[in-house]
Structure 1
Amino acid sequence: MVGRPDPSFGLVDGELMPDSSLRPGADVPAHGVGTLASARRDGDDWRIARDPLGLNKLFWARDAPGSIVLAPRPHLLRAEGLSFDAVHAVPRGAVIDIGPDGVRHTLMTVPPHQEDAGRPLDEIAADIRFALDGYLAAVASAAPDATAVVCCSGGLDSSGILALANRHFGRVLGVSFDFRRPDARPSEDRVIARRLCDDLGVELLETDVDRSGLLEHLDVVLLEGADWRDFNVHAALVNAVLAESIAGAAGASPLVLTGDLANEFLADYHEERYRGETYYRLPRLGPSALRRWLVAGLDSTHRELGVFGAWGLPVVQPYAAATQHYLSLPGSFLARDDAKQQLCREVFRDLLPGYVLTRQKTRAQVGDPDIGGGVLAACIDQGIDQASLRHRFAELHKLDRLADLDHFIRAGRYRSAVPEENA
């Protein structure tokens, strides 16, 4: 094992996954959610595991017959002199026992779900709320001294997590990203984050950066995020700025909470236009199929855990606890323009004020167009486009052929395999 996996917050039957489940030979839960990447050794036996959505990452490469090297990032395997072509991800949901008697591979999945057009929205929302509260309560109980640091964009997803975290953790700190501008005018994201934190009685750490300060994190993002695609890199750049700020100001035992995943679960993404070009292209799919494609794509970016992990910060993604309930929402509901607003009204009820529930979504990658745009504009204006990100990723991973990347991420998934399948 080279390096250490990012901290895991796996959930089984409504409780944090016990440490005993990760030991070689232990019973494997049939279903699980949350983040998990683990490699445990007991004598000559190993157990390797990864969560069913692929939120946490673990890679391996064979260095000799009968011998593999594991690492949480591909660049660590390259630093060991292993070929990039030999790097595979541990399959998502895989639990692999390796010992003198060979390799045994089992699979852990997301709890069963199916789209249910006939089920009332308030019932699904109640299940989501119950799952979120239960997960946060379990994490808070396991880490009683932690400061919950919630990334606050002022949007629905992060605002809901901030409000819930404030009910479960003894100390909560909000953190807000914004670009530094000559006129010192804050973005709407910052304005809403300030107002919400004031209303909840939560301290807000305001993190401001100019374009050059943002882009100096690019190499760290490409290495620790294990991805070169523009949307994920742009999101990871924001996280890198936040991580640096949190690491310097949050005090002891910070635990980062994000509102990530809700966009995938609700297929809440769209393409963007800048300087006449289209970015963040999506496949032409209906809402249900698009959601499946987006959720599958969580396997192949480490824009959250990996990037915060570069600053030693553990990350909890609370929406993972309600995965099966989100996935039960029918495509007809996802197709509604107000789907997220309607769902959040039911999930969070009186916890979120009207000014949060009714505001228009603005992504940090795009920013407010009337005050200079966001990360997308910052990158494109400096000539950092999809092609240049791809080239830089290849350079950092010391690849001789750019085409090798085509085999590493394909159709939104990492190249993955159980070690015995490539003996």
Structure 2
Amino acid sequence: MCGIVAAVGEVDVQMCREMLGRIKHRGPDDTGEIRRGNVWLGHQRLSIMDVGGGAQPLSDVDGTTYLVANGEIYNHRHIREDLGHELFETGSDSEAALHALIVDGPAGLARLRGMFALAFMTSDGEFLVARDSLGVKPLYWARRAGVTLFASELRAFDEADRPLVESFPPGCCWSPASGLVRFADAIPSHVRPARRAEEPGVWDESLLKSVRETIVSAVENRMMSDVGIGVFLSGGLDSAIVAAVAAEYAKRHGQPLPTFAVGAPGSSDLAAAKVVAEFLGTEHHEIVMTREDAIAALPKAVRAIEHYDPSLVRSAVPNMLLAEYASKRVHAVLTGEGADELFAGYSYYHEAPFTDPDALQAELVRTVGELHHLNLQRCDRTTMAYGMEARVPFLDRDVIELALSIPPEHKMTGPGVEEKKLLRDAFEGWVPEEILRRGKEQFGDGSGAKDVLEKAVQSSPEIAAADGVELRSKEEAGFYAIWRDELDGIRADRTLGLFATT
């Protein structure tokens, strides 16, 4: 949705404005700032909800409290009803976060359902920042003598401050008075498999219905927008399910549904996405990626995702091309991120030691909790590089809680049981049968980017060990060299730790 910057302490307003300017791509529609005492808030706006009246910083009617936010509060209508419509001045979903904090203080964060990073202050000096429990929306901070700085992306910080930058932990809030406090866990402690599966891979209709209805609700909640919204359609199972639900919603509301696919000429992703789009009747757009396109996008992708892990870079390159094209047509897109981590879609989940149900469950929980370092970082940065928001319905709280309460045996493969069979069975009839049973293929592979990019960096020099970074392959060394150059020669171990490879 947007980009935010905040500072508390000895505020240098000009420096804060420069920080905000470095993330203007996240919110090209408007710029807002406010200072009260020793607190400064800045906002770059991407207008999605209440385009005319939702400018930030938001304030209460008396002008005594202020908020800047990046993300979406999907239950904002329920919060309005609960707190009273008379409190609200705009149609912005972020205003629900403002009033929840005014009414309940930090406890108001528990009301919020969505993806967000926010900063809140009062005219009498109170200050609070917070990040959603999964870290879907990014937030970084740097604590230095006299001032604490916050921003949506690493690049916002001055080069001198970058060695101090850390990823702000998901599910936490911070204030000068209370310090860092956890208000929510990525995986709530009560979420665990309800029972062992007596017959792995065999389930009744009630489970399929529960999975289907929970995912449908999550997708529909993310269709809220006062501007255009579309779907990134890779041709895989997960994005096809999202597109199918979104298409039904769009039809009921008399709206078109644009879908977007990218791939090299003749790639399997383009072919599969076309099958899905024709089946659903969407307004489909294909971006054919040439070798030259991929190589030209490589440094842009590495800079955008602020990462050099090969699997992320390979998928980021086609994502960048997709986002560049789609951003000219819609302001927000839905993606299939998170389904593989919840329903055991990756091949390694089905190898030792994860052939043990308890080990598989632990690994699913771990990888969901780590998504903010990896796929979610790539998903956010590649879209926001072009001022477009990505929404991730599979990572809705209800979907996570349901998926991780399912016996892990139901996610294991075996004779006649392919990966994600439960998810496939739940959406039988919603997508074409050939897509429903299509095997898992990494986005960077299916799009055709992998081979091109591997060859593009084969001639890159190995990086000196003096950087203190362990690199696993020549390909990763090539991506790291680009990353280092694009991020202004960062060397500090503490900063490099933000980008630990998978």
TM-score surpassing 0.5?
yes
Cα deviation, residue 303, structure 1: 0.7
Letter in 2 for 1:148: I
Cα deviation, residue 200, structure 1: 1.5
* Aligned match of 2:444: 365
* Aligned match of 2:118: 38
Give 3-state SS (helix, strand or coil) of 1:299's partner: helix
Q: Partners of 2:353 and 2:292 in 1: how far apart?
A: 35
Cα deviation, residue 311, structure 1: 0.3
Q: Partners of 1:179 and 1:74 in 2: how far apart?
A: 31
User: Residue 480 of structure 2: which of 390, 408, 411 is its match?
Assistant: 390
Letter in 1 for 2:453: C
Q: Partners of 1:146 and 1:53 in 2: how far apart?
A: 26
* Aligned match of 1:8: 71
Q: Partners of 1:389 and 1:347 in 2: how far apart?
A: 39
- Taking structure 1 as reference, are residues 10 and 325 closer, same or farther at Cα in structure 2, changes over 3 Å only? farther
Matches within 5 A, 1:54-73: 54-65=135-146, 67-73=147-153
User: Residue 307 of structure 1: which of 373, 378, 382 is its match?
Assistant: 382
Q: Partners of 2:393 and 2:116 in 1: how far apart?
A: 13
Q: Partners of 2:431 and 2:490 in 1: how far apart?
A: 51
* Aligned match of 1:114: 192
Cα deviation, residue 197, structure 1: 1.3
CA contact (8 A) 1:94 1:106 kept: yes
Give 3-state SS (helix, strand or coil) of 1:294's partner: helix
Q: Partners of 2:299 and 2:204 in 1: how far apart?
A: 43
Q: Is 1:264 equivalent to 2:349 in the alignment? A: no
Cα deviation, residue 206, structure 1: 0.6
Cα deviation, residue 138, structure 1: 2.9
* Aligned match of 1:407: 497
- Taking structure 1 as reference, are residues 70 and 362 closer, same or farther at Cα in structure 2, changes over 3 Å only? same
Give 3-state SS (helix, strand or coil) of 1:217's partner: helix
> Greater relative contact order: 1 or 2 (C-alpha under 8 angstroms, separation 6 or more)?
1
Cα deviation, residue 310, structure 1: 0.6
Q: Is 1:222 equivalent to 2:302 in the alignment? A: yes
Cα deviation, residue 241, structure 1: 0.9
Question: What TM-score results when the alignment is normalised by the length of structure 2?
Answer: 0.69
Matches within 5 A, 1:310-349: 310-321=385-396, 322-336=399-413, 338-349=417-428
Letter in 2 for 1:136: V
* Aligned match of 2:38: none
User: Residue 256 of structure 2: which of 150, 159, 171 is its match?
Assistant: 171
For residues 191-250 of structure 1, the C-alpha deviation after alignment (integer angstroms, 9 at most, x for no partner) is 2222221221111101011122112222332233132111111111121010011123x2
* Aligned match of 1:297: 370
- Taking structure 1 as reference, are residues 254 and 407 closer, same or farther at Cα in structure 2, changes over 3 Å only? closer
Question: What TM-score results when the alignment is normalised by the length of structure 1?
Answer: 0.80
Cα deviation, residue 402, structure 1: 6.9
CA contact (8 A) 1:156 1:357 kept: yes
Cα deviation, residue 160, structure 1: 0.3
Letter in 2 for 1:96: W
Give 3-state SS (helix, strand or coil) of 1:53's partner: coil
For residues 141-182 of structure 1, the C-alpha deviation after alignment (integer angstroms, 9 at most, x for no partner) is x42x433311111111010000000122322111111113xx
Cα deviation, residue 410, structure 1: 4.5
Letter in 2 for 1:374: G
Q: Partners of 2:78 and 2:418 in 1: how far apart?
A: 29
The percentage of counterpart residues that share the same residue type is 20
* Aligned match of 2:272: 192
* Aligned match of 1:84: 162
User: Residue 429 of structure 2: which of 335, 338, 350 is its match?
Assistant: 350
CA contact (8 A) 1:222 1:233 kept: yes
Q: Partners of 1:317 and 1:197 in 2: how far apart?
A: 19
* Aligned match of 1:415: none
